[in-house]
Amino acid sequence: MKSLLPIMMSALLIPAAQAGHIEITFQDVDKYSDIDSGREPQKRYTERVLNKFEEFFTDVAAQLPEENTLHITVKNIDLAGDTRFGSGDYWQVRLMTDLYSPWMTFDSKVLDVQGNILYQADEKIRDYNYLSRSNHYSGQFDYEEAMIKRWGKQLMSQLN
């Protein structure tokens, strides 16, 4: 075991590969199609949604070379499902059906270190088959995360 310790310690000194950077803006959030909270206070829920979407796009940017920057301006979000009144004290639940597929619109741009545009598009992504996929999602915003990951894979294939 002693002989493995120096090897393990030297592995910690190897610098990790740097990821690309991200700049994200959420435009006119109060006009988004559907980020309805149901029973959670709307302000707190909206902040949670935006933080999660920022994480999803940060994961995409992590696949870029370190000198590149991904610029995202989110213009609209419609979460998977739709909020409906539930039982009890009239609290609302998010009903998942094929009618309410997740979608979003955003502007995207990838710049290199000199500021040259490597990619630029006005994006509208939607997952009509979100309930039919083989993955069974259990967490909140999993459908939206999968949708953004698929977009990120397409972006990376266009950049390479």
pLDDT in tens, the chain (160 residues): 444 434 333 334 433 455 889 999 999 999 999 998 877 888 999 999 999 999 999 999 999 998 999 999 999 999 998 887 665 555 667 777 788 899 999 999 999 999 999 999 999 999 998 888 756 666 789 999 999 999 999 999 999 8
Q: What is the pTM of this model?
A: 0.82
Among 19, 112, 29, which Cα is nearest to 57's?
Answer: 19
Residue 151 is inside which H or E element, if any? helix 142-159
Look up residue 139 and give its two tokens: 């967490």
